Chains A and B, each alone.
Chain A
């Protein structure tokens, strides 16, 4: 391994520069620095949670309490805002719509991205590098650039205001992302496994489904997490491609501003409900997520 070599070279550097500290001093200092880093992390987490807490706090208050006085926690707890959302179909259908197109997008994307990522990780073919770069540029392309033609395109093929339209549109950035992540995971599977399977008489489709996919299960899980994340949070395309039947929740939330002012309680409750699916998804992949964030490349 190369790191041993590097280490011995670097070791000399440390020795010459930093060797004037006694072990007792070091232990003391370690304990102190551990507490300091705990404290800093705690501080960051508290600051990070505050805006979300405030949303939760508001969602459990009545509008008169929100506007009336500054209360750090709900004085008279109410679930009316949530009940209002769950009993009004125009509200909860927003969640159903969002979930539907996100699920469709995840399914389509993973089905076409798996074979493509395998091709990129195992073979060279004419134009492979340029194809890969072109895919990544789609990940970078601002959705605003594509707004108008998308509207025209989906209108002309009769898919406007359907869930599948949004699912297909989100493929623009989700397929490249999935291929990028999956390619990293697949490259860390030794090639000998493929070869052995072919010698044992497996055909490519059977090998792929029976052996290869189970081997990169965690990679697929993490990929699905990322697909969920980017499809769930995107609004610009989803908003442009839908009118009433497939409208995402993010768009319905803008309805809270009525003639009598903004319905803050309902807005907050709806916001809290959009966070919950994310928490569930991240809980399921929590053990693999660290590797996935490096896009399978560490």
Chain B
């Protein structure tokens, strides 16, 4: 495994992704999702909204890192808020 050159931040990153997937699965088993239409132009399920949130979070991070001098923590905070908004009203 040493060739994979793990570091603490990436390990935390992948663990939280895995935890999110596991959490979503358990949530789905306990109360199955219903497709609905929020402020997004298409009808989405919970999983869809999580995916859209994560993908846009990635682009928010890239934008902040590449083209501004802001701290990455601001990008993380913005993404987290955006993800919550999306999950609730998307």
Contacts and interface: CB of A to CB of B under 8 A. Distances in A.
Whether the complex brings A and B within 8 Å at their CB atoms is answered yes
Interface of B: 3-4, 25, 28-29, 45, 47-48, 51
A133 B4 CA distance: 26
A286 to B, nearest CB: 40
Contacts of B48: 129-130
A126 B45 CA distance: 12
A11 interface: no
Given A126-B25, A126-B28, A126-B29, A156 B3 contact: yes
A130 B44 CA distance: 12
Nearest to A134: B51
A152 B3 contact: yes
A152 B2 CA distance: 10
Interface in A132-155: 133, 152-153, 155
Contacts, number: 18
B25 to A, nearest CB: 6
Interface of A: 126-127, 129-130, 133, 152-153, 155-156
Contact of B47 (A129, A155, A156): A129
B53 to A, nearest CB: 13
Closest CB pairs A-B (n = 5): A152-B3, A156-B3, A126-B28, A130-B47, A126-B25
Given A129-B47, A130-B47, A152-B3, 4 more contacts: A126-B28, A130-B51, A133-B51, A153-B3
11 contacts: A126-B25, A126-B28, A126-B29, A127-B28, A129-B45, A129-B48, A130-B47, A133-B51, A152-B3, A155-B3, A156-B3
B3 A127 contact: no
B60 to A, nearest CB: 20
A156 B48 CA distance: 36
A155 to B, nearest CB: 8
A130 B47 CA distance: 8
A127 B51 contact: no
B1 to A, nearest CB: 8
Nearest to B21: A127
A211 B25 CA distance: 34
A129 B29 CA distance: 16
A129 B48 CA distance: 9
Contacts of A127: 25, 28, 47
Nearest to B5: A152
A76 B29 CA distance: 75
